[in-house]
Amino acid sequence: QITLKESGPTLVKPTQTLTLTCTFSGFSLSTSGVGVGWIRQPPGKALEWLALIYWDDDKHYSPSLKSRLTITKDTSKNQVVLTMTNMDPVDTATYYCAHLAVAGTYGSFDIWGQGTMVTVSS
């Protein structure tokens, strides 16, 4: 059974760096084809894809946020970490991590964490 859980601060100040950890079980990020993504959702708004990391350390970022994002993995701890620099109130959102499912060449997020709400305010 695959599970994921996000953790990190609930409140950060403007200009600070946010560090979120996704701790997962039921799969290994050292297995070929496996990946984990981050998605966020501001209150009352749509989902926004942020970043994706694959088993081979291939990384992809949202172009609009690329300069502020870093995604890394710790295979031994079954964790994926997302850092976002220079936080702003518009970054207030629920942040989700999700397991990448691959069927042939078709990717989707089949299992999601419960999400963690992050508020940016002074």
Partner 1 sequence: DIQMTQSPSSLSASVGDRVTITCRASQSINIYLNWYQQKPGKAPKLLIYAASSLQSGVPSRFSGSGSGTDFTLTISSLQPEDFATYYCQQSYSTPWTFGQGTKVEIK
Which parts of this chain interact with partner 1 (CB under 8 A)? 37, 39, 46-49, 52, 60-63, 96, 98, 101, 103-104, 106-110, 112-115
User: Nearer to partner 1 by C-beta: 58 or 122?
Assistant: 58
User: Nearer to partner 1 by C-beta: 8 or 112?
Assistant: 112
User: Nearer to partner 1 by C-beta: 63 or 90?
Assistant: 63
Strands 11-12 and 116-120: parallel
Of the candidates 54, 60, 113, 121, the residue with the CA atom closest to the CA atom of residue 87:
121
CB of 71 to partner 1, least distance (A): 12
User: Nearer to partner 1 by C-beta: 52 or 87?
Assistant: 52
CA angle, residues 27, 70, 18, in degrees to nearest 5: 100
CB of 13 to partner 1, least distance (A): 26
Spatial separation of the C-alpha atoms in residues 111 and 120, rounded to whole Å: 27
CB of 11 to partner 1, least distance (A): 19
Of the candidates 64, 114, 70, the residue with the CA atom closest to the CA atom of residue 90:
64
CB of 73 to partner 1, least distance (A): 17
Quick check: helix, strand or coil at residue 80?
strand
